[in-house]
Copies of this chain bind each other. A is one copy, B any other.
Amino acid sequence: MINYTIPKRDMMFVLFELLDYEQHLQTLSGPEALSRDVVEAIVDECGKFCENVIAPLNSSGDKEGCHWQDGVVTTPKGFKEAYQQYVAGGWPSMTHPVEYGGQGLPVSMETLVSDMVGAANWAWGMYPGLSHGAMHTLSMHGTDEQKSTYLTKLVAGEWTGTMCLTESHCGTDLGMLRTKAEPQGDCSYTISGSKIFISAGEHDLTENIVHIVLARIPGAPEGTKGISLFIVPKFLPDEAGAVGPRNAVSCASIEHKMGIHANATCVLNFDGAKGFLIGEPNRGLHYMFTFMNNARLGTAVQGLSHAQLGFQKSLSYAKERLQSRSLSGVKNPAGPADPIIVHPDVRRMLLTQKAMAEGGRMLAYSTALLVDKDACASDEDQRKEASELLALLTPIAKAFMTETGFECASLALQCFGGHGYIQEWGVEQNLRDSRIAMLYEGTTGIQALDLLGRKILMTQGESLKRFTKIIHKYCKSQEGNDQMAEFIEPLAAKNKEWGELTLHIGMKAMSNPDEVGAAAVDYLMYSGLVTFAYWWARAAEVALAKQDEAFYAAKLTTARFFYQRLLPRTLSHAAAMKTGVDGLLALDAEHFSFE
């Protein structure tokens, strides 16, 4: 088994050479402006935890899985001890408010941690990871009392949180949800219903779990406008804030899944459980969406994590595995065969992973800086700009990075030949684990509709223009830089075409809204490729100034690979999305198959 090593040099490259993170932190009001030294120290510390504590539990956790018995869930061996170390290290509190025990660091630091924790052991990382959603929701919408009762415990890592949305008959379409919340007249509600797919919904890592639950108050409007949000703790806090009586919420079963075996995906039954309203009634979905964007960016990082882990494993194998000779002559005369990394097709697979993982890191980190700005840029215009860019880039990052994360995980397996199909190397687990990311927090199809329909067409393309203008300006700024021409010319052309395709589909959608759905996924993948192309051009620019060093030469080579081999995928996506909806709707549903 080849273990995970944090890609520190790549992380620092993105933060400090590409994004000027120190400067960025200066512009925020609120979080402390960390120096590069401090950021590096934090990364080193977290890296040690990831490499030494949770990465070794990744495979054993997958094999052992979670156990359910009579409503009690036991996590795999070592998970609880790892969690205790994580809490002792203060990691849960890092980016949360100082007044509730947090360290008040900028939220972007969470993305760095997630990059490392996710690649080391995604299934483990989901236990503390899910808490962040609950914490952000409480921070933003909870009362002072709710914050001091629940947020303090979550920040300390003593309790964890969940987000309870899905029911068996509704996932995407939350307007249909049936869980009921009946007011008891004492500011509490009685919650009844059943939720499914609740990640970390029950476990043995902490003494209590705080469920954040969507439910419907009797008499509320139908559909999405009648949904409210509630706190439903597993154990009700006593007057001192400690764990008190058990609440009527129980874990009926855990799912048997393709991957992330070590994370408990729970069916939760609320049998008249006591719950407490968050914010105003019927605003639940609105509150949830503020948090959903963060969750989507978190899931984007999952794509990056699996691409990174698969890349490390397959690279290491490709350097060691001796098999056949290079077509252009023996490269390893001392050995019985050449290492397979000499074969151009193996390099194609490795470079695809490298370009996607490192491109994903650039997009994830740059988006994390927008999250910082959205939350606490000192300048109001900057804040608005960040918020709107974030709305545009979130579905792109989520869907494109998870789709390519899965693709890369499959390429990693392919580099191993038949050995990749065996559990031993961990690449088949990486592929299985990666597959969920295209589904939860909104499928690729849903992200694509959000991007093209809600974000772009509903703003008459304004939202897209905000980003294409940035790319346009960047291209202008590089005019006359001959060394950059190989990147800037195709980037400028694709950027222009992006706008044209949007207009083309927008026009068609005016006469038939189904045109949006027909184009959406190809449009999203196209958008992801252009977004990555922008970041790879930026990386190439940095690297060109320093290409004498091998590290920068490698960045430049990878940028070229991206432009030569991956960006051309835009050609097929553009052609496919232009064909429109008619071919898709021509068949009656009953004529899809015949016996």
A-side residues, CB < 8 A to B, are 5-10, 166, 169-173, 176, 197, 255-259, 311-312, 315, 319, 322-324, 326-328, 336-337, 339, 341-348, 350-351, 354, 406, 410, 413-414, 417-424, 428, 431-432, 435-436, 438-440, 443-445, 448-449, 453, 512-514, 516-518, 520-521, 550-551, 553-554, 557, 560-561, 564-565, 568-572, 575-576, 579, 581, 583-589, 591-595
Contact = CB atoms under 8 A, between A and B. Distances in A.
Contacts of A10: 594
A583 B565 contact: yes
B592 A258 contact: no
Nearest to A516: B327
Nearest to A166: B418
Given A345-B518, A592-B350, A420 B439 contact: yes
B589 A341 contact: yes
Nearest to A255: B422
A344 B169 CA distance: 21
Contacts of A439: 414, 417-418, 420-421
A341 B589 CA distance: 7
A591 B575 CA distance: 36
State the 7 A-B residue pairs at the shortest beta-carbon distance, nearest first. Answer: A568-B575, A344-B517, A258-B428, A571-B571, A344-B518, A564-B579, A327-B513
A551 to B, nearest CB: 5
Contact of A589 (B9, B319, B571, B576): B319
A505 to B, nearest CB: 12
Contacts of A568: 571-572, 575-576
Given A560-B583, A561-B584, 20 more contacts: A171-B323, A172-B417, A173-B323, A256-B423, A257-B422, A258-B432, A315-B593, A326-B514, A327-B453, A327-B513, A342-B589, A345-B518, A347-B587, A417-B439, A418-B439, A421-B435, A550-B594, A564-B583, A565-B579, A568-B572
Contacts of A595: 5-9
18 contacts: A9-B594, A176-B336, A257-B422, A257-B428, A328-B514, A344-B517, A344-B581, A345-B521, A347-B585, A348-B521, A348-B584, A420-B439, A428-B435, A551-B591, A553-B591, A554-B591, A554-B594, A564-B579
A435 B332 CA distance: 31
B435 A170 contact: no
Nearest to A581: B344
A213 to B, nearest CB: 18
A406 B350 CA distance: 20
Contacts of A443: 414, 417
Contacts of A554: 587, 591-592, 594
A193 to B, nearest CB: 16
B431 A176 contact: no
Contacts of A428: 257-258, 435
